[in-house]
């Protein structure tokens, strides 16, 4: 499953599953995704990764408890 431009995706924090946020994907290429950053709203680019056929990316940086946006979580 791949990301689509002009689509909003939901994300959750690992530490609190009830705490959610939305990310608007602006542009998609084969290796990157450009999205509106959840806190600032500014366009930000991230590397697209894949797990069992589902694309995902880290909207707030890559660290141990980082939230993840997956292509199968469209709003």
Total number of domains in the chain? 1
Q: In DSSP terms, which residues pair with 22 in a beta bridge?
A: 10
In a domain, 29, yes or no: yes
pLDDT at res. 14: 83
The half-sphere exposure of 31 on its side-chain side, counting CA atoms within 13 A, is 0
In a domain, 2, yes or no: no
Asked whether residue 48 carries a pLDDT value surpassing 90, the answer given is yes
In a domain, 1, yes or no: no
Q: Kindly report the number of other CB atoms within 10 A of residue 11's CB atom.
A: 21
| Cβ–Cβ < 8 Å for 67, 11 | yes
Helices marked H in the chain: none
In a domain, 46, yes or no: yes
Considering the chain, what is the average pLDDT of its residues? 93
Q: Domain residues for 14? A: 7-74
Average pLDDT over residues 33-54: 93
């Amino acid at each position: 499953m791949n990301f689509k431009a002009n689509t909003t995706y939901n994300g959750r924090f690992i530490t609190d599953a009830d705490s959610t946020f939305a990310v608007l994907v602006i542009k998609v290429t084969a290796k990157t995704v450009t999205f509106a950053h959840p806190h600032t709203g500014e366009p930000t680019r991230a590397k697209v990764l894949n797990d069992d056929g589902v694309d995902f990316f880290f909207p707030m940086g890559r660290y141990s408890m980082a939230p993840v946006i997956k292509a199968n979580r469209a709003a």
